[in-house]
Amino acid sequence: MAPYESDDSTEAAQAGEELRDDLRAERRRKAARYVVPVAVVGVAAATIGLVPALADSGDPDLPKITAQQLIDKIAKSDVQQLSGTVKISTDLGLPDLGGLESSLLSGATQGRGDGSSADPAGKLTELASGTHTLRVAVDGPEKQKVSVLESGAEYSLIHNGTDVWGYDSKSDEVYHSTVADSGKAEQRETPATPKDFADEVLKSVDDTTSVTVDGTAQVAGRDAYRLVIKPKQSGTTVGAISIAVDAKTGTPLKFTLTPSSGGAAVIDAGYTQVSFAKPTASTFDFTPPKGAKVTEGDKADKADKADKADKTGKNDKVGRADRGGKASGAPGHGSAKDLDKSGFTVLGKGWNSIAVLDTGSKGGLPTGSASGGGVLSGFLGSLGDSVSGKFGKGTVFSTRLINALMTDDGKVYVGAVDKAALVKAANAG
């Protein structure tokens, strides 16, 4: 019996083995199905990771050009028609004020008696922080449109002939003003397109600045030269400015400002899509929608122009930083005039110039309006560092680009310079 027994057990063992093999194969077959979703995830991850790398076909080959030639090219550039999408990221290193910042702002505008949320001054100041997508369309000096795309809403500023319309779809409010001498008068208060930034910077190119052409790049699918501008002076917070200039038309396509402290760009504005074709005429047509509240900003706007700048300077750090950005970017003739108009004087020269504003309000932090001033100044005070020197005492507000010193006797020193330079200027003045 023994052999049979052993035979049986071998058979049984074999059968068991086969069954186990079957089960294992079955399990493997089943597990194999989960490969499909995993593979889909893998392919998706690879696509997300690789496609931008592959699409980046390297820097284009363009004929050599000197910095001077490139600057001339920008100056001569005569692009009258343009439309495109601009992505602008600003990281001034301001504390994230969230809604508070805009409520301070609206408080400031409401104080002036017109509370239209479609007022361009307040609206475009919002661009000074965060990332925004803009659409621009230009057709000659008479017709321009800038739209700020928000989630589920849009703010449009349309200049067509003598009319300037602002439309805020979120609150359904319209702002309207007319320009007497069409064209120049209603310049946007906040630079938004790479060209606006580049113009401001190129005005400041003088002996305090080194300008070089640093290879080529592709921006919005177009071949471009990279112009790099670096301040030669020390003491400024500006590290370098890089401008991508379209090789064909000479239009600045991308503007990047990196701070001397390193890290992410303070301002990064570039076209993600651009076309030099004539925009359709209807782009610039605007009729206020039925039922929308229309604020006529014409008279108030002119009379309060200086006052507004003043208010912005006082009440809103963002606004000031922005204005200061212009001042530092263009210490030359261009904006000096601007500054004088709004009661500024400029100390120093080149990148180290400092704008001085005498607010006249003694007792430290100026109060924007009588009501709520105490709260406001307390709040602002908590954001700054106090310093003292020969000038007395003051508070320094720092951002990654602009520093401002408010002295207790009501003077404000603003510039793209470090804290020490501000204190030095205050001591001297």
When binding is defined by CB under 8 A, the residue of 77, 169, 260, 361 that contacts another protein is 169
Number of residues that bind another protein (CB under 8 A): 39
- Cβ at position 409, least distance to another protein in Å: 37
Candidate ranges 148-156, 245-253, 325-333, 349-357; the one touching another protein (CB under 8 A): 148-156
Sequence-distant (≥ 6) Cβ neighbours of residue 40 within 8 angstroms: none
- Cβ at position 283, least distance to another protein in Å: 7
CA distance 419 to 429: 15
User: How many Cβ atoms are within 10 Å of 228's Cβ, its own excluded?
Assistant: 16
Sheet order of strands, 403-407 included: 344-347, 354-358, 411-415, 403-407, 392-398, 385-389
Residue 290 as a binder of another protein (CB under 8 A): the answer is: yes
CA distance 319 to 323: 6
Residues paired with residue 407 on neighbouring β-strands, in sequence order: 394
When binding is defined by CB under 8 A, the residue of 171, 218, 275, 342 that contacts another protein is 171
Residue 271 as a binder of another protein (CB under 8 A): the answer is: no
Candidate ranges 69-77, 143-151, 194-202, 337-345; the one touching another protein (CB under 8 A): 143-151
Residue 153 as a binder of another protein (CB under 8 A): the answer is: yes
Which two three-digit tokens encode residue 89? Answer: 């990221």
Give the 3-state DSSP-derived string for 374-398, with helices as H, strands as E and coil as C: HHHHHHHHHHCEEEEECCEEEEEEE
Residue 142 as a binder of another protein (CB under 8 A): the answer is: no
- Cβ at position 45, least distance to another protein in Å: 10
* Contact yes or no for 339/348 (Cβ under 8 A): no
* Contact yes or no for 191/242 (Cβ under 8 A): no
Residues paired with residue 245 on neighbouring β-strands, in sequence order: 225, 252
Candidate ranges 151-159, 232-240, 352-360, 398-406; the one touching another protein (CB under 8 A): 151-159
When binding is defined by CB under 8 A, the residue of 109, 117, 177, 236 that contacts another protein is 117
When binding is defined by CB under 8 A, the residue of 255, 286, 397, 413 that contacts another protein is 286
Residue 58 as a binder of another protein (CB under 8 A): the answer is: no
Place of tokens 């320009």: 179
Which two three-digit tokens encode residue 271? Answer: 């076209």
Sequence-distant (≥ 6) Cβ neighbours of residue 162 within 8 angstroms: 178, 179, 180, 182
Report the residue number, 44 or 50, with the smaller CB distance to another protein. Answer: 44
Binding stretches for another protein (CB under 8 A) = 30, 33-34, 36-37, 40-41, 44, 85, 106, 117, 133, 135, 147, 149, 151-154, 156, 158, 165, 167-173, 282-283, 285-287, 289-293
